[in-house]
Amino acid sequence: MDEWIFRRDILRCFHGKLYRGAREIKGSLMFVDGVEDAAYDEVVQIYGSDGKERTGRVLETKIGEAIVQILGERAGLETDVLIKFTGSTFRIPISEDVLGRIFNGRFEPIDGLPPIISYEKREITGAPINPVAREYPHDFIQTGISVIDGMFSLVRGQKLPIFSVSGLPHNMVAAQLARQATVRGEEEGFAVVFAGIGLRNTEADFFIEQFRETGAIERMVAILNLADDPAVERIMTPRIALTIAEYLAFDLEMHVLVIMSDMTNYCEALREISTARGEIPGRLGYPGYMYSDLATIYERAGIIKGKKGSITLFPILTMPGGDLRHPIPDLTGYITEGQIFLSQELSVRGIYPPVNVLPSLSRLMKAGIGEGKTREDHRYVADQLYDAYSRGVRARDLARIIGEVGLSERMKRFLKFAEEFESNFVNQDPYENRPIEETLNRAWRVLSVLPEEELVRIPRKMIEKYHPNYGGG
């Protein structure tokens, strides 16, 4: 009978367990006495004396008491409420009709169309993929962004976050990625599931507009929790998005790109709830279980053996105060398979995408590149770019102290390389889509600033094949 949870008219006739009156309401928590056997994580409906209806979830239960987390608007709520325990955990109806639709953090449509009705229901918490059922990701995704394709290649089934700072064009990068990402040799693009977590209205509009512009809207599902929506719903937003993504990937065999912005807002919501429950705080007041909690989101990316679809996860988070050691980027980095850093410094200098190359990393890159996947020289070129750039950056730091004239000839060359690399390799237009060959050829042209002997990371035969001096590039 619980198929009808979201049909409220029918819900009213449903014979659920009804209680009247809460003992206490504290923040988003409601303490209900006299409840005998509420299930842990069970969904409750709350009918306020103001005539409004809200949804909640059981956070803790014992004989005689249930602690309920209220989702949605709390203002106007009194202790005199009707509380209905629905008997089931939070599930969403799911069908192919979700494509092209926009929902809020409670999975109610906000695009003016009717709700999804389906007998197929999924628990939004999901279940962990059995590690032995996982297929190790191998397929290179061409994003058309040189610095990502060339140096931090993304593969299908990977989770690769953008670590950014407020004010940087991370949304632009994410949108470009969503527009351009393809797997070579395959016609179809990705289906995109977008989870907007605590986004400002303009940001959300920007994403929707971007998808609409490219016609990607039919292959997109958006779950939007806006900055003025209740914070507690931020806990559900990414989980609803991933439940849909799992359905698209593992039932409909689609390749799904999930973009989640901004995970920092998610973590803030987690902290808010944890504090309201009076839990023992960990670092900076974030709960001690934040690592495990984030893992239940990020680890839902992946590929399953014998299934065609995949989930590639692209979370965006803004580092509070630009601090990498802040618990949010720190715990994320421990779970995800690499990270792409954006840098204020490059952005100020007008470089787009402002990717800070040195601390960025893609852990699954090695499996996705090379002969037959991208090109045989890819790995060596990437290593060489990285090595030379790190020397260039060191030269630049040194020049700040002792002046450029104090640098050795060799160091000056690396400094010149770094400039060249930033402006001709990293820098590109937000609407420019570079195939991997072009990216690699560009890399060779930038490397040719250095004398051939300095290219120690590249085998001789590759140099002779691809170096501009030998007709390559």
37 binds another protein, rule: CB under 8 A: yes
Residue in 301, 219, 288, 218 with CA at minimum distance from that of residue 260: 301
Q: Which stretch binds another protein (CB under 8 A): 13-21, 188-196, 275-283, 342-350?
A: 275-283
In sequence order, what are the residues at sequence separation of 6 or more whose Cβ sits closer than 8 angstroms to the Cβ of residue 231?
Answer: 28, 198, 265, 268, 269, 272
Provide the minimum distance between the beta carbon of 243 and another protein in the complex, in angstroms, as a whole number: 12
Binding characters for another protein, 115-134, by CB under 8 A (x = yes): --------x-xxxxxxxxxx
Asked if 302 contacts 248 with a C-beta cutoff of 8 angstroms, the reply is: no
291 binds another protein, rule: CB under 8 A: yes
Helix (H, G, I), strand (E, B), or coil: what is residue 10?
helix
Provide the minimum distance between the beta carbon of 227 and another protein in the complex, in angstroms, as a whole number: 28
34 binds another protein, rule: CB under 8 A: no
Provide the minimum distance between the beta carbon of 335 and another protein in the complex, in angstroms, as a whole number: 6
Nearer to another protein, 125 or 424 (CB): 125
In sequence order, what are the residues at sequence separation of 6 or more whose Cβ sits closer than 8 angstroms to the Cβ of residue 397?
Answer: none
CA gyration radius, the chain: 25
281 binds another protein, rule: CB under 8 A: yes
Distance CA 381, CA 372 (A): 16
Q: Which stretch binds another protein (CB under 8 A): 13-21, 30-38, 68-76, 111-119?
A: 30-38
Nearer to another protein, 13 or 280 (CB): 280
137 binds another protein, rule: CB under 8 A: yes
Q: Which stretch binds another protein (CB under 8 A): 98-106, 146-154, 289-297, 311-319?
A: 289-297
In sequence order, what are the residues at sequence separation of 6 or more whose Cβ sits closer than 8 angstroms to the Cβ of residue 234?
Answer: 105, 197, 198, 225, 265, 266, 268, 269
Number of residues forming the site for another protein (CB under 8 A): 78
CA 260 to chain centre: 4
**Residues from 325 through 364 that contact another protein (CB under 8 A):** 325-327, 330-331, 333-335, 337-339, 358-359, 361, 364
401 binds another protein, rule: CB under 8 A: yes
Question: For another protein, which residue of 99, 259, 304, 415 counts as binding (CB under 8 A)?
Answer: 304
Q: Which stretch binds another protein (CB under 8 A): 8-16, 200-208, 292-300, 437-445?
A: 292-300
Q: What is the largest CA-CA distance in the chain?
A: 83
285 binds another protein, rule: CB under 8 A: no
**Residues from 140 through 179 that contact another protein (CB under 8 A):** 157-158
In sequence order, what are the residues at sequence separation of 6 or more whose Cβ sits closer than 8 angstroms to the Cβ of residue 260?
Answer: 194, 195, 197, 238, 241, 266, 297, 313, 314, 315, 316
Provide the minimum distance between the beta carbon of 472 and another protein in the complex, in angstroms, as a whole number: 23
Distance CA 181, CA 95 (A): 25
250 binds another protein, rule: CB under 8 A: yes
289 binds another protein, rule: CB under 8 A: yes
61 binds another protein, rule: CB under 8 A: yes
Residue position matching structure tokens 């580092």: 319
63 binds another protein, rule: CB under 8 A: yes
Question: For another protein, which residue of 366, 435, 468, 469 counts as binding (CB under 8 A)?
Answer: 366
8 binds another protein, rule: CB under 8 A: no
Nearer to another protein, 145 or 290 (CB): 290
Q: Which helix (H) or strand (E) holds 191?
A: strand 191-199
Q: Which stretch binds another protein (CB under 8 A): 103-111, 261-269, 287-295, 436-444?
A: 287-295
Asked if 265 contacts 197 with a C-beta cutoff of 8 angstroms, the reply is: yes
406 binds another protein, rule: CB under 8 A: yes
Q: What angle do CA 258, 182, 238 make, to 5 degrees?
A: 0
283 binds another protein, rule: CB under 8 A: yes
Q: Which stretch binds another protein (CB under 8 A): 35-43, 179-187, 203-211, 251-259?
A: 35-43
Residue position matching structure tokens 């504290």: 26
E strand residue ranges, 345-458:
355-362
Q: What angle do CA 222, 225, 227 make, to 5 degrees?
A: 135
DSSP labels for 236-297? HHHHHHHHHHHIIIIIS--EEEEEEE-HHHHHHHHHHHHHHTTPPB-GGG-BTTHHHHHHHH
**Residues from 86 through 115 that contact another protein (CB under 8 A):** 88-89
251 binds another protein, rule: CB under 8 A: no
β-partners of residue 20 are 82
Nearer to another protein, 113 or 358 (CB): 358
Distance CA 351, CA 230 (A): 36
13 binds another protein, rule: CB under 8 A: no
424 binds another protein, rule: CB under 8 A: no
**Residues from 179 through 238 that contact another protein (CB under 8 A):** none
Q: Which stretch binds another protein (CB under 8 A): 229-237, 399-407, 413-421, 423-431?
A: 399-407
Helix (H, G, I), strand (E, B), or coil: what is residue 46?
strand
Nearer to another protein, 175 or 355 (CB): 355
